[in-house]
């Protein structure tokens, strides 16, 4: 089983739609969870951390289910500028701050 698994998509949605991405991770001892965004051929950028209680940042909501080892990202009122690849990220086993990245889910928001 891969350490971090995501549906690669692509997800094609119209502007204004709500879209959700899911991710599963294999290391039950993981403590740190993030969503990153990567635009084509650019560096990944931190979108938000994911907390056990769930957290929201504007149009973005992240949820963590430790029992199922499952993370989600919800984007409301999609904008054209949200088109990107969304990376699910979990800290590596026994390696403190080093992180494992999923392969990403591609989102295309269309007019």
Partner 1 sequence: NAGVMQNPRHLVRRRGQEARLRCSPMKGHSHVYWYRQLPEEGLKFMVYLQKENIIDESGMPKERFSAEFPKEGPSILRIQQVVRGDSAAYFCASSPEQENYGYTFGSGTRLTVV
List contacts with partner 1 (CB under 8 A).
31-32, 34, 36, 41-46, 49, 87, 89, 91-92, 95-104
> What's the CA gap between 87 and 5, in Å, rounded?
10
> What's the CA gap between 98 and 67, in Å, rounded?
23
Choose between 78 and 85: whose C-beta lies nearer to partner 1.
85
Shortest separation between residue 9's beta carbon and partner 1, angstroms: 13
Shortest separation between residue 62's beta carbon and partner 1, angstroms: 12
Choose between 22 and 49: whose C-beta lies nearer to partner 1.
49
Choose between 43 and 111: whose C-beta lies nearer to partner 1.
43
Shortest separation between residue 47's beta carbon and partner 1, angstroms: 9
Q: How far is CA 20 from CA 13, 27, 31, 33, 74, in A?
A: 11, 23, 22, 17, 4
Choose between 33 and 78: whose C-beta lies nearer to partner 1.
33
Q: Which of 46, 45, 50, 77 is nearest to 61 (CA)?
A: 50
Alpha helices in 4-110 (DSSP H): none
């Amino acid at each position: 089983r891969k350490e971090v698994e995501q549906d690669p998509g692509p997800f094609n949605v119209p502007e204004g739609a709500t879209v959700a991405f899911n991710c599963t991770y294999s290391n039950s001892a993981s403590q740190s969870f993030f969503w990153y965004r990567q635009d084509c051929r650019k560096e990944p950028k931190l979108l938000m951390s994911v907390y056990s209680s769930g957290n929201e940042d504007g149009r973005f909501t992240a949820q963590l289910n430790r029992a199922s080892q499952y993370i989600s990202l919800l984007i409301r009122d999609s904008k054209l500028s949200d088109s990107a690849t969304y990376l699910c990220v979990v800290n590596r086993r026994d390696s403190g701050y080093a992180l494992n990245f999923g392969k990403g889910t591609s989102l295309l928001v269309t007019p």
